[in-house]
Amino acid sequence: MTTAKLPTFTGWNNHLPLLWLALEQTTGEVIEYGMGDGSTRQLQEYCKKRKLYSYDSSEEWASRFKTKKAQINVVSNWEPIYHTHKNAEVVLIDHSPGEDRHLRLAQWANSKAIIVCHDAQPKPNAGDYRYETVVHLFKYVVRYQPQKTEIDWPTGAMACSNEHDLTKWIGKEFDGICITSY
């Protein structure tokens, strides 16, 4: 497998440690719900020998990441992606509208995938992604979460799977932050 150098993690890309671990543990298809500076180029670099399908609802964002090899798709409905890629092994959920994210996570509950969810910090948080309403559908759930500030939780991420035992990631440290149980 290709091991890319990981950048310093900030709020907009702090899902990368979990995504990197998911990629290292698998070899199959990768799905990206929502393109951005904190994931798309990194996934394109890492997945040179894997199938990567990136989706966004914004033509502007999609056009920023087009390459000859990239599978870039603009969608108005997120629902069909799961049905097209049921055998994907890694899924990143980081799309707009954020209120749809828990529905996509629930969709993948009966798959063999490792699902990485960005913006999965505890409440109160910057958005109402409602992951907590469906996380019980997964046997294995871990979190990468910076410490709470005086006023709020910084952006965090989680990984979920019913197939892969993610608890072996607990205690791994990236930029001074340890992966913990959910």
* pLDDT tens readout for residues 43-57: 999 999 999 999 999
Omega before residue 80 within 30° of 0, cis: no
| Tokens 């959920």 -> residue | 93
| Residue 10 maps to a domain | no
Into how many domains does the chain fold?
A: 1
- Average pLDDT per run of 10 along the chain, which is 182 residues long? 53 87 97 95 93 97 89 96 97 95 98 96 77 96 88 86 98 92 92
In this predicted structure, what is the pLDDT of residue 2? 45
Task: Specify if 6 maps to a domain.
Answer: no
Q: Residue 54: in which H helix or E strand, if any?
A: strand 52-56
Residue 79 sits in a domain of what CATH number? 3.40.50.150
Question: CB–CB of 150/123 below 8 Å?
Answer: no
Residue 153 lies in a domain: yes
Query: Does a structural domain hold residue 2?
Result: no
Strands (E), 62-127: 71-74, 90-93, 114-118
103 within 8 A of 82, measured Cβ to Cβ:
no
Domain contains 7: no
Q: Is residue 151 part of a domain?
A: yes
124 belongs to a structural domain: yes
Say if 120 falls within a structural domain: yes
Q: Which of 19, 26, 171 is nearest to 88 (CA)?
A: 26
What's the pTM? Answer: 0.93
**CB atoms closer than 10 angstroms to residue 53:** 19
Structural domain boundaries, residue 167: 16-181
